[in-house]
Structure 1
């Protein structure tokens, strides 16, 4: 096989391990070659698989490359044969050697370098002057000692910059899987780094993309991941960049990533690392936005309308499912930001769609709501993944009232297992009895276990299980939900409310004890704080009653039309300097341009504008009109209640906005606030309903 064919096989193996697929189109775009070239490479891959007695890959519908679990057995053959069969050029040897020297704390002998490169010692000696010159150009210096070998000296920040320069050069040392894996194995000989820590990096970066609304291109994502994989060998041994430059626009995202690195991998990292990562993030490319991120509030409102329409169409109330709402917003933001074709419809997605034809039809009937917002038709692939989100919400809600006893099998460290556990507990009512490695399954008493959930294949263990991606995607949620819906929990008592004064505190104390036992030398206060916050149900989101205090509510306001109503709803926020006059007029122009989409429930409108239109701080201001006025949305008119929303980012206001819209769909709530005589009475009603729905 050629280099590209080897890398294609590596990608196929990795995707198979996580139950995912690639298409020929995906690979053609990844390697920037024609589909015809990829077909030729696939033939080479199949020849290699055949030679090793393994099942060949097949081309399915829409160019999807179908693989079997058998392909995972090619990993060892590919890795062993891969590096041996590569003949590295001098530049590749220089890069390989440079990474080894950057990763080392002590002298490395030339014989060791020769052994790792599978070349003669004389070849390494001939390369040495080129290596020295390479380092000098980057303010780093290679010291030679006749008995000890060579040692790299220089500032840590220059070493890190060189690492990223090399990664961005697109050298095969980092691009070709066999070479890169061999490089990582050589680094591990000097400093042991948990393989699962390196895998965790990918999850942390992906989380940060969604949290901060900055989506990396595939190439940039790979570059950041590789930077961290190599940098771990420096961070874990206390080598940090020395200085901190100016904080750029990527600093919040960098800081968020480093906070997760500290939580799951490295205990303490100075702020200089966040500042340097911001510099790195500033050097990579991001997916071009097809819609302005400033209009995120509008998308949140449109998404809420879409969910309302879908709920009515399929006869299932999904409007109160905040997890579904939040997940769908994040998905749509990513989808509408992407350029070019999507990932294609994989076999799992296709299977789900075939099982839920009515949901697919309902999505197609109502997707016009999203298409009007984005300004284009959604593709079949985009619609398919929206269907997946709807189906995942249905399955999750089907199992809402029942608790299941689960064994979680994870092949990584505590960081990965806790991340997956948090995701599972967010979506399902589970009692996780234990988290174990695969080799320990035979020692587990299964008498009280309802289901096994695993991040790796357990086919060899002869047990029934559900395999999920460590990131727990929506396809995984559907599989888990369907499995749980067919199971009768063995311990029915688990479905009963747990006494707040008995078993429940014990469960949280057990979590704290586990953290303390696993960190005997240094208490990880952050993790303990997370458990305490979980017990007391501490929420990071701003609650509705935090924003709509009595002073932010006005009753019996006189307005002649919807324009006056919008301006009147903003008076309190203007007085509090939460918005500017420009913001108020922008809200009016928004409705003039886009229509009355801000009318979200019977008799209720939520005027707002883009994040950059003059909002200064997050806030809400609710008014009741003395005489309701039409806004132009016949099925919801006339509007009596108008709530002005001031949003400064995409997250802070989201839960409060979601709760308020849901309240106005409740006729009982509308009746009670209608009968309220003072703002204090309205606040009391809102507070009561918010408390009951938490």
Structure 2
């Protein structure tokens, strides 16, 4: 792909010759990079049979075709090979209307998207139906042509969502660039340069995975902002004015004086900056989010019955991500391109607990937390839990982990790799630029979620790996690096080993056996992967007690723990540790209306994973405090930070369902309690 900075040249006169040094000054690239880019540009011109660059007496001349065919040269594809999906067509149709400064017609849309009139009419109909759900209207009049009407906040948020959804495909990005080139072929490049310069000058730390969509969104808002204004209340303006990003917004808009003159747009661009800016601990205006981060972490520890040992590091990492998430949720900026379904599939119990733990953020924003945001926090917690494993490792190899999808995805990828390869020391990098700044002598191999052009051994992996993918990766790394361990044979190897000793039935081929065996392996591996016991498997009849005895809270905890002690899952020391923890840290074990979860550390006397339940007829006052009236005690004996999470996720679902919680509190026999626990697992 041709560097975007070369587009600065396409707006220059065509009959003027430029020296390498002049081009370097115009584009801001080094002379070596300019020469490299000119070579790539000439290759593309030759490939498409266009007029190549003239190089005469140290002067370079560009033909008008370079301007006219810039998109083709930039992407290395011809427009005839660009095909938009139905969603991309409708998104681009919306975005063209979003920035329109003149009458738009069906013919204009048709010419831009290179499709038939009937296709455009069908797209307009479907788009109108989708927009109506957000109270946005795609209207038409003979005087104005097509235009958007509705609340400006909703109109802009819809544009942001559409840009975020299509910017990752070649056809989507092509359409976005083409839409901006109508007035100026250099506009997108100017916005990109201004944003990058502002980030550098203001020392803001930007989430790398959000940069590309933000550049296009800013460019489209700059176009729309010349005609339509965004209004914020004075209280919000006052809060935004205190942020470091407000100065960055003004600096960025100084290159676009027509928009800078609109005060409301200064604040709107501050919001945009905050949705992609990692938290800055020195920004005193964000202290309230540091407190929120602390509350969420402690809530997660309480709900999941775990303790994060590197608390300060986790607090800072969490705060860095919480800041942009707060502004996205509070002001309705969507988060796209997230592996939400994959996270739910592989980290379901952690996702459930994280969703509940995020209630302090929900109260702060006044909005429900979207699953996409929950997913990011889930893998942030998951990464930290993973980091607490394998504390004592023998380091034999050094590896870099590259995952441009964002810091949270990077953390979970790093965590999974550490678990798979305890003899490798993993360091994290989140951008290709960071990778290029690291000396190759500092690492042996790279694990990357994107293809790389490097001489170092590179393993291409997904941010979240299935069990089959893990096994294949283990095999490859062991073969390459001779890491000791058990190699899981591939399906191919199993078949090749068996074929000399078996006779295939008629109609049965090697390929058919491969497909069947592959399906069975995936199924078996998934079963093996999910070894965490369910709530009903831990709280069996022998672990559930009901009593009408009156007792204090210390006696109740000791009584509730007796089934665990009788079965040898805990020692007497563990019971004492649970009681001491309440005395030291307060009523943190009160996890819901009338429910307490006594627990201590595994090293305090846990021999085996287990849970026991005690239901008292007369409520017990935890710490003798009327605010903490407990009817059910559920003692947890955890062996680590993970094996009990599925059970606690089910318990959390029960507590979150008012009807089920009331039934549980009213239950008066073991059978009813067991039935309710099983029903809660299917919620």
Q: TM-score, normalised by structure 2?
A: 0.32
Rg larger in structure: 2
Task: Pick 1 or 2: higher relative contact order, CA cutoff 8 A, min separation 6.
Answer: 1
